[in-house]
Amino acid sequence: MASRELVQIVEKFADSGWDLIGAPSKEWLASQGSADRTVELLKAVEQAEKECGSCGCEFDPLYKRALKLLKSA
C-alpha cells in the first residue's frame, strides 16, 4: 500500500493541469497504486523531472520525493 505522503504528492500531480503527470497520476489514484500504473507513473514523473525539475516551481522537490517513494514501493 502506498504511503500517505506519496498519495498526497500524486494528488497534487493529478490536479496540476499538466497532462504529462496529471493523467498518469489520476490513473494511479483510481487503480489504488496498482503495479502497472505505478510503472507508468514512475515513467511520467521521471520525464517531468527532466523537463521541469529545476524551474523553481513548487513541484521540483515533489518530483524527486515521488521518485524515491515510487521506487521503494
Higher pLDDT, 72 or 2: 72
| Separation of CA 46 from chain center | 9
How far is the CA of 15 from the CAs of 24, 45, 69, in angstroms? Answer: 11, 14, 19
Q: What is the DSSP string of 14-44?
A: HTS--HHHHHHHHHHHHTTS-HHHHHHHHHH
pLDDT of residue 68: 96
* Alpha-carbon distances, residue 7 vs 12, 21, 42 (angstroms): 9, 14, 13
**24: containing domain:** 4-72
Domains of the chain: total: 1
pLDDT tens string 28-37: 999 998 999 9
